Chain A
């Protein structure tokens, strides 16, 4: 079932092709020179705060936000809105807590930020592995989403076509990352954020107009159409089948709040600003745009339920991932005039670009960490031209297996994979960054323990959760091997990550912690005031 008329489909196809051609061209044009390493990694730290902020917002609004959280808002109302708010809070906390210290200590990757205090090859290699483990599942989610979105919007159901779409999107993401580097992907992100916010604003205004500009009418209509009545506007619909609804909700929120903004493809944008003040400015723009987007997402997805109804949303997709598009389509009324089809094509194109751009940024983050963290601690670091070639090759090396995984993962529930990413961010990356930046006594062994214990506990617990098996909406609905009766592993893995770091530090003895304290003191000036301002190399 596609639900969209022929003219909307053909306009969408034209718009997709145009956007792909245009962004690729821009990416090649803004891409770095063959031996220009700082430009590939950070774009010389020369992006203005507004543009940098839009790029951060673009990185942060991934397909998981638009499609997954949108679907939960449409189907479960209140619970989805709370999820969206916790995603927003995560970015706000990144701005308040980590943005400036990260900018001050990091150079190109998360490994740099960690290795400034603990310069060791083991730290860099572990950071690289954790980055890959956190981002590859997320990339699979996005790429599989591209196949689903194209099949839905363009109206084909052939499996081979879907696989072809995923492969095509994979080629695009690798080219964006390898050719454009940081400046290129930043540009794609900026275009995407502007397209998404602009088209979303038009659709939200149309939906609010349909309800006489009364938000309460919209919410009551959605509650009527949701089939759940007033339960749609209160807590618990999403967790109704769970044996421990309160704990499930708490651990999901905890994973998103701590993990969402710590993922390396978001934090790598902290290094592209020039001064700590510019980072703050950029984050203000980013938080403001994401807030606006969350507001629009709420309006559009509750609008989808109010206008289309719960049954048609679940008929299109059991998890409601197409709710954003259905809401946008319904906002334009029953028949589309030509300008309306064009506007609707903008909405679908913005979502398409969202999928492509966020997956390109994640590829870039993986490629950077592979090329930089694995070589930077060698006795003789490679020449810039060689490291750049290595980074481009790494984009390919990460991209190809991800595309294959995405082809396999299609038509399954993608929620476990997204959960792995967020929970890894919350259990390994968040404690490692917080301790490294703010705790004086934190030792190198403790850093490694945090990363390893946090990551391993997530990877060990996830297969046992109810997201993977045991319920009709699981990834494997026919099997039941769930032994951990919650829907995320965060309940155990987040405390495990934090405790591992704390215990290892406390147990490592007075002398070790005193040494760390002195070392922290010698880095403190740098941490607080940032790197000395550099003149532009041009």
Chain B
């Protein structure tokens, strides 16, 4: 178990040896906060408390938040912009920066904002979603390999 973090207790007694060397990334190592406590209750890895299941739940939650925040922000801005256009035409026709009507400026601002939104979305996905997705994929391939080895 040369890759394991030293201070971890031997957390997966039932299927430890067969996993040797598989945890070669940080996020694949069972983290002490959950694996030591919860793993003792569950026996099978497909049970509701097993690592794979938990990763999937975390991944689902991460994806959901990621999607919701991004979509609602983009859609919200546009709907607010349209509502203002229709309901407050005098406000939108008032001269804004550069002598252009405020509405037109608000419309043109959406172009640089879109670029910014794409950058933020990519960065957030890279930070919050990708590691979990990779962990879930690896756990799935590990459990699939185990199932193949099982008699």
Contacts and interface: CB of A to CB of B under 8 A. Distances in A.
B59 A529 contact: yes
Counting chain A CB atoms within 10 Å of each CB, which of B63, B85, B103, B104 scores highest?
B104
Nearest to B126: A277
Nearest to A92: B74
Nearest to A247: B86
B107 interface: yes
Contacts of A442: none
A280 B122 contact: yes
Counting chain A CB atoms within 10 Å of each CB, which of B71, B101, B114 scores highest?
B114
A297 to B, nearest CB: 11
Interface in B32-76: 56, 59-60, 63, 67, 70-71, 74-75
Interface string B68-101: 0011001100100010011001001100001111
A78 B106 CA distance: 11
Contact of B136 (A257, A277, A525): A525
B72 to A, nearest CB: 10
Given A97-B67, A220-B99, A529-B59, A78 B114 contact: no
A525 B59 CA distance: 10
Interface stretch (A81-89, A261-269, A365-373, A469-477): A81-89
A86 B78 CA distance: 8
Contacts of B78: 85-86, 89, 253, 257
B56 A524 contact: yes
Contacts of A485: none
B104 A81 contact: yes
B140 interface: yes
A85 B100 contact: no
Q: How large is the interface on A (under 10, 10 to 19, 20 to 34, 35 or more residues)?
A: 35 or more
A205 B137 CA distance: 48
A234 B89 contact: yes
Given A95-B121, A97-B67, A234-B101, A528 B82 contact: no
B92 A235 contact: yes
Interface in A453-510: none
B109 to A, nearest CB: 10
Contacts of B118: 92, 95, 284, 287-288
B133 interface: yes
Nearest to A78: B104
B93 to A, nearest CB: 5
A215 B110 contact: no
Counting chain B CB atoms within 10 Å of each CB, which of A81, A96, A215, A236 scores highest?
A96
A250 interface: yes
A532 B93 contact: no
B141 interface: yes
Contact of B74 (A82, A93, A215, A532): A93
Nearest to A86: B78
24 contacts: A81-B108, A82-B107, A92-B74, A92-B118, A93-B75, A230-B93, A230-B101, A233-B100, A234-B92, A234-B103, A235-B85, A235-B89, A236-B89, A250-B82, A253-B82, A257-B75, A277-B130, A287-B114, A287-B118, A294-B111, A528-B56, A529-B137, A530-B137, A532-B141
Given A88-B110, A288-B115, 8 more contacts: A82-B82, A86-B78, A96-B74, A96-B121, A215-B100, A215-B108, A233-B104, A249-B85
Interface of A: 78, 81-82, 85-86, 88-89, 92-93, 95-97, 215-216, 219-220, 230, 233-236, 246, 249-250, 253, 257, 276-277, 280-281, 284, 287-288, 291, 294-295, 298, 524-525, 528-530, 532
